[in-house]
Amino acid sequence: MRSLVHLRPRSLRTKHAFMQMALPGLILIILALALVMQGCGGSATTTTSGGATTSGGATTSAPSVSTTDTLPGVGDADLLQDLASPAQTVLDAINQSVVNVAVMGVSGTGANAQPYEGIGSGVVYTSDGYILTNNHVVSSNGVPVNSVQVTFNTGETVVATIVGRDTQHDLAAIKVAKTGLKPVVFAKSSSVKLGQWAIAIGSPLDFRNTVTLGIVSGIDRSIQTGDPTVPTISGLLQTDAAISPGNSGGGLFDASGNFIGMPELYLPPGSTGAVDIGFAIPADTVATVAKTLTGH
């Protein structure tokens, strides 16, 4: 019992002595840790900033990693704007300046005369009703059609009269009794560059207000027309913007919505094997002839 009694007090004294020695050290360590944690942001939890994992609330210079399909730093609206087709922008700006042209005429003479109907396109030249189109839209074999109707993008249809025709350049001017129209803006042909955007707007196969997108594929092209009265047309723009029957007389525009040419013809894939080879009369030629035909 003595040794046990002796041992117990000895054991307590030993533990007490250890605590006396250890407590100051522990207190210092705790204080040191607190100061370190405070200097590092007051938190020892793990955080994620910009896709990089850091400790103590500190950030790193690691690049951000996006978990979406958009480019880093680019919002959805910005991305959609950057990806918007130039055809969409141009159509919104000048759609009211391109019209549908429907004609009725007679082909042949005497017993061989046959009535026919045709569809083409046109572009507004002046605000007081002058419209430009191809001569072959409003005539057949040199004979003018009997009637012309113009339909605007609003759906309004009005009667038009033929003002003048230029067979050499395959251009014609017609007029409607309507004011407040929005004319196309002519670009200088010298500003048209190979490879730039080209937007065709017209009525292929009577599908009104059709827009197709391509580029200027060639400049100053010559093409055999198959028309004995005008066997060759020179100085044409070549484009791969889809051109079909009914696009004739419409507009070919640059990415700013300026008129760079009038779709004239294309090479049919079925008979030539060609794909998207179309031709347009340059804006300078159209403007020069239009002044002669209209006096404006």
Active site residues: 136, 170, 248
**Cα distance between the two ends of the chain:** 132
